[in-house]
Amino acid sequence: MSHDELLAALQDASAGGVFHLPAHCREAVRRAAAEAGFACFEVSLADCSRLDEVLARLGIGLDFPDWYGHNLDALKDCLTDLSWVEAAGYVLAIDHAGPFLVREPEGFAELEEVLTAAVAEWRALGYPMWIFFDAQATGLAAFAETG
């Protein structure tokens, strides 16, 4: 996918979702998202193998407000608000998700469900939101190759 195609894809709110993004595509996505005026977040789940650790790391990485409750409901509330970082769209890249996925597959599925619901709420408002995992998980579509 060319840069212009990638930029157009990211700006399409109806196409946003939760995807696997190969590491070699990350920089192209980051550049296109920045050009589109998106807020871009990168969160590493290195050393996180439990859902509570993942929720804490996401809260820190996305600079959630003090009222963030470190649970799935609070995660969805914060992801669907983001009033402290208004932008034309949102990209969240999550690295080192593999150990969490292996150790707690049910927790990963619950997390993916909340992330998908947050994307759907932004989509309904006409705002693109993209969430990318570096890990390949069952049911997680791969984002188109970028070049």
Q: What is the model's pLDDT at position 145? A: 56
pLDDT tens-digit readout, 71-113? 999 999 999 999 989 899 999 999 999 999 999 999 999 999 9
Contact partners, residue 105, CB within 8 Å, separation at least 6: none
The rounded distance, in Å, linking the Cα atoms of 97 and 82 is 23
The structure's pTM equals 0.93
Q: Domains plus CATH for the chain?
A: 3-133 (3.30.370.10)
- Is pLDDT above 70 for 137? yes
| % of the chain residues with pLDDT over 70 | 98
Neighbouring residues of 51: CB distance < 8 A, sequence distance ≥ 6: 100, 104, 107, 110, 111
**What phi and psi values does residue 125 have, to the nearest 5 degrees?**
-90, -5
Residue 22 clears pLDDT 90, i.e. is over it: no
The more confidently predicted of residues 143 and 128 is: 128
Please state, in angstroms and rounded to a whole number, the distance separating the CA atoms of residues 144 and 101. 22
* Single-letter amino acid, residue 86: E
**Contact in structure between 135 and 18 (CB atoms under 8 Å):** no
Given a cut of 60, is residue 41 above it in pLDDT?
yes
Please report which confidence band the pLDDT of residue 147 belongs to, taking 50, 70 and 90 as the band edges: very low
